[in-house]
């Protein structure tokens, strides 16, 4: 992990264009850039967050470590996303772990300083809370839909989730193992591999080594609906 200075252009424009130059300078004592290597943990579940991490480059896996020593993958974060914003509201323990899927560059801001800023900049506070609420609602919808699906439906939903919205412009499967995909769908590694091959035989997807290409999105949506 390496650190250096953080400039305003490192942060998501959609949020931090609401900061005045004076407010930005007030944050200067508590902001820095941190770099993580692929595979490094950014935060581990149970840690007390004392800083907010804004991802400026790379991809991060968000997951839950269960009592059975298994992982439940929750989301993939990328540039413009943030980690630990709940600490501003007084949350003292992180519910998730975060691991770098690629080399990561992030701008880190001290929680106390950011909280002080939000208390004087209601527009920024509302923007960040809106972002956090929208992200949480999208995740809740995805994981709630998984609950009542059979294995093929679970995997179909997962493939759609990993190829739409924020991830639609990248083949994220190049960064994921089959086990990672299985941990999103909540099924075994063996069954994931088996169903992927079935989807390929039916013309729903195309498999090229680690890559997965959606060949028939409408059919995949059909599996997600009735599977």
Residues 60 and 92 in one domain: yes
pLDDT, tens digit, 9 for 90 and up, residues 69-93: 688 999 999 998 888 887 887 777 8
Identify the domain boundary among 113, 135, 157.
135
Determine which of 7-21, 54-68, 122-136 has the lowest per-residue pLDDT on average. 7-21
Number of domains into which the chain is organized: 2
CATH code for position 83? 2.60.120.10
- Count the neighbouring beta carbons within 10 Å of the beta carbon of residue 39: 10
Domain limits at 221?
147-226
Tell me if 142 is assigned to some domain: no
167 vs 150, 181, 190, CA distance in Å? 24, 14, 25
Residues 11 and 92 in one domain: yes
pLDDT mean over 92-115: 89
Residues 116 and 46 in one domain: yes
Question: How high is the pLDDT of residue 3?
Answer: 46
Four-point Cα dihedral 120, 18, 104, 165, nearest 10: 120
Distance CA 110, CA 223 (A): 45
Identify the domain boundary among 108, 135, 162.
135
CATH code for position 213? 1.10.10.10
Residues 131 and 151 in one domain: no
pLDDT, tens digit, 9 for 90 and up, residues 121-172: 888 888 888 877 888 888 888 888 888 889 999 999 999 999 988 888 889 9
Adjacent-strand bridge partners of 47: none
Identify the domain boundary among 79, 105, 135.
135
Residues 98 and 154 in one domain: no
């Amino acid at each position: 992990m390496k650190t250096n200075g953080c400039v305003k252009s490192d942060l998501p424009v959609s949020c931090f264009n609401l900061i005045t130059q004076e407010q930005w300078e007030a944050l200067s004592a508590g902001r820095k850039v941190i770099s993580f290597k692929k595979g490094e943990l950014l935060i581990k579940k149970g840690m007390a967050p004392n800083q907010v991490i804004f991802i400026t480059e790379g991809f991060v896996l968000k997951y839950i470590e269960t009592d059975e020593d298994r992982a439940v993958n929750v989301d993939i974060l990328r540039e413009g996303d943030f980690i630990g914003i709940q600490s501003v509201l007084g949350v003292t323990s992180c519910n998730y772990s975060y691991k770098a899927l690629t080399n990561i560059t992030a701008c880190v801001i001290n929680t106390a300083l950011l909280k002080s800023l939000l208390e004087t900049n209601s527009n920024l506070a509302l923007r960040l809370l809106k972002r956090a609420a929208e992200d949480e609602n999208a995740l809740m919808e995805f994981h709630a839909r998984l609950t009542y699906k059979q294995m093929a439906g679970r995997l179909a939903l997962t493939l759609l989730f990993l190829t739409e919205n924020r991830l639609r412009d990248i083949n994220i499967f190049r960064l994921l193992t089959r086990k990672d995909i299985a941990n999103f769908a909540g099924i075994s590694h063996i069954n994931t591999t088996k169903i992927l091959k079935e989807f390929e035989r039916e013309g729903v997807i195309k498999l090229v080594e680690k890559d997965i290409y959606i060949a028939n999105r409408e059919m995949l949506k059909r599996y997600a609906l009735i599977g």
